[in-house]
Structure 1
């Protein structure tokens, strides 16, 4: 946006300081003049009432000289003081200019006591840090997504190249599996994008009903792996998208089944705390090192190893969960169980149960 040129803040402060000093000096000289008229009138005026010659020769030039000195002193001092006062703003502007050019690693790190400029610089540094972290995360996500999407396409290409030497039924089945995986990955990416944008309608949701629906849909998958599913708890209402919350719980329960011991167990529980509705998903499984937990919510991370199994998913399960929780203003906590496995705790802002219409 182009703006018409104007005076800089430093020039405005300088002129304001000099003008204030001139006004203060003029008022001071006026006070002196009034004092002389009241207490020494013979010095100021002649017997005929006119201005004394000595006053005209001495006082008037002295006033002019004093005002000129105050103007020069005010302009010089104001320029120096304004420069010192505006120095933090100059550093903030330089940092903003570098950020606009794409450099987000620069930090102001303004020193000195806490004041308005220091608070503004600290807020700007925090914003740059979060922005740099977010962009780095998006870049990693784009790189991983490109890699994940390229893999099924490369497999499909290889299968098509050797189609004439393979059994057709086997080839079709393998292509179906690869194509299904590509579709699942694309749908997961779209769901993740939708959760990040928060473009959904919010309505009252009971987490206990969502938990029952998700576990019921995954019951055949759990029975196939001889995993016991246990759903307990009380009604826990929150405000959000029932579709997204169902996807969130489904992802959590599916991950809990996949990353489990044979004949293990998965427990889903809902409860209410003061001001919060809580969902807990707990499973048995391998021991998880604490340093691995922060990476589990990153895209394309699959537990302790980046391996593919028959139900390894697309590596976006907990990443989607994290985005949905964040979009609903919730808090996600991952805690390793002492005996192995993972406890996932999610807290959403609680809401009163919806009022039922009277019969």
Structure 2
């Protein structure tokens, strides 16, 4: 925004300090003046006796030049001292301004790190440093995510390109097999694209908040994924009370579907189980999804919410997924001001706990 030039804050503070000092000095001189007028007798036209003290006129004639010089001294002292004090007071603000200018030019690694005890300027500097750190981390995450997304999308497209090149050089090949393979690869590309769009929607917080019962959401997700569970030989057990929260019904359903889907496909080869439960606590509600499976290390579990981290120890050969299931869950939980906790089960498998504010 273009603004007309104006006085600097330092000059304004200097004038304010000097003006206040002049007013205080003027009031003090006025008090002295009134004192002289009231308590010092006036000799009038009478002849003053030899050896008597000075009268009011003598004191006023002596006071006027001294008061003038005092006013001039206060003005000079106020301007000089005010300029120095204002400079010292505004020095932290100059550092904050320089850091802001550097951040506006794209340098997010710079920090103010204002030393000294706590005050308004240091609180502002600390908040600004924290904001820069979060923004820098967010930008780095977005760049890493964009690179990973580009790599993931390139893979199915490259496969389809290779299949088409082979078909073009071999017109007598098996067309039905080619179509089936293209359909499989294309379905994976569509699944990945939909997951990326959903993840972006969760990041941007684009949602209409309504009251949602997580227990009903869990039942709906269970009914939807029951055929998949039967196909994998997994038994789903649901329990819990009504768990009212506020948020997007579509996103919360997608969150629960992703948790159940992961629990089903990353399970034991035979007789696996998935336990879904909801609970109400003071101020928040809980959704817990546990599944049997192989034993997982805490180091592996800590990486499962990162985008495109499939966890090679958990990947089933018949359903590798796109590596965004738990990443989407994590973003949806964050968009609803909640917390996501993952922990390996001692007997094998994973326990996922979602904590959301209670409606």
Fold similarity call, TM over 0.5: yes
State yes or no: 1:316 paired with 2:316: no
State yes or no: 1:118 paired with 2:122: yes
User: CA separation in 2, counterparts of 1:91 and 1:138?
Assistant: 29
Asked if 2 retains the 8 angstrom alpha-carbon contact of 1:222 and 1:228, the reply is yes
Asked if 2 retains the 8 angstrom alpha-carbon contact of 1:283 and 1:341, the reply is yes
User: CA separation in 1, counterparts of 2:349 and 2:131?
Assistant: 36
In the other structure, the counterpart of 2:10 is 10
**Residues 54, 230 of structure 1: alpha-carbon distance in 2 compared, 3 angstrom cutoff:** closer
In the other structure, the counterpart of 1:52 is 57
**Residues 18, 292 of structure 1: alpha-carbon distance in 2 compared, 3 angstrom cutoff:** farther
The residue matched to 2:309 in structure 1 has which SS? Answer: coil
Moved more, 296-305 or 10-19: 296-305
In the other structure, the counterpart of 2:296 is 288
In the other structure, the counterpart of 2:40 is 40
In the other structure, the counterpart of 1:237 is 244
Q: Equivalent residues in 2 for 1:99-138 (5 A)?
A: 99-138=103-142
Normalised by the length of structure 1, the TM-score is 0.90
Asked if 2 retains the 8 angstrom alpha-carbon contact of 1:259 and 1:303, the reply is no
In the other structure, the counterpart of 1:185 is 192
State yes or no: 1:222 paired with 2:226: no
State yes or no: 1:91 paired with 2:95: yes
Moved more, 16-25 or 107-116: 107-116
Moved more, 309-318 or 297-306: 297-306
Asked if 1 retains the 8 angstrom alpha-carbon contact of 2:267 and 2:349, the reply is yes
- Extract unaligned runs of 5+ from structure 2: 48-54
Moved more, 62-71 or 174-183: 62-71
Q: Structure 1 residue 326: deviation in Å?
A: 1.7
User: CA separation in 2, counterparts of 1:306 and 1:230?
Assistant: 21
The residue matched to 1:41 in structure 2 has which SS? Answer: coil
Q: Structure 1 residue 46: deviation in Å?
A: 5.4
Task: Summarize deviations over 1:325-359 as a string: whole Å, max 9, x none.
Answer: 122222211122222222111122223xxxxxxxx
User: CA separation in 2, counterparts of 1:307 and 1:35?
Assistant: 96
Moved more, 98-107 or 297-306: 297-306
Q: Structure 1 residue 101: deviation in Å?
A: 0.7
User: CA separation in 1, counterparts of 2:280 and 2:326?
Assistant: 23
Q: Structure 1 residue 72: deviation in Å?
A: 1.0
- Extract unaligned runs of 5+ from structure 1: 352-359
User: CA separation in 1, counterparts of 2:300 and 2:98?
Assistant: 38
Q: Equivalent residues in 2 for 1:241-320 (5 A)?
A: 241-263=248-270, 264-304=272-312, 309-320=317-328
In the other structure, the counterpart of 2:355 is 347
The residue matched to 1:271 in structure 2 has which SS? Answer: strand
The residue matched to 2:109 in structure 1 has which SS? Answer: coil
Which residue of the other structure, out of 212, 215, 218, is the alignment partner of 1:211?
218
In the other structure, the counterpart of 1:61 is 65
User: CA separation in 2, counterparts of 1:48 and 1:217?
Assistant: 116
User: CA separation in 2, counterparts of 1:48 and 1:6?
Assistant: 59
The residue matched to 2:4 in structure 1 has which SS? Answer: coil
Number of residue pairs aligned between Structure 1 and Structure 2: 348
The residue matched to 1:267 in structure 2 has which SS? Answer: strand
User: CA separation in 1, counterparts of 2:310 and 2:164?
Assistant: 29
Task: Summarize deviations over 1:57-96 as a string: whole Å, max 9, x none.
Answer: x422222211111111111110111111111111111111
Which residue of the other structure, out of 195, 201, 214, is the alignment partner of 2:208?
201
Asked if 2 retains the 8 angstrom alpha-carbon contact of 1:185 and 1:314, the reply is yes
Asked if 2 retains the 8 angstrom alpha-carbon contact of 1:236 and 1:270, the reply is yes
User: CA separation in 2, counterparts of 1:152 and 1:337?
Assistant: 34
The residue matched to 1:52 in structure 2 has which SS? Answer: helix
User: CA separation in 2, counterparts of 1:21 and 1:153?
Assistant: 76
**Residues 246, 143 of structure 1: alpha-carbon distance in 2 compared, 3 angstrom cutoff:** same
Asked if 2 retains the 8 angstrom alpha-carbon contact of 1:227 and 1:265, the reply is yes
RMSD: 2.2
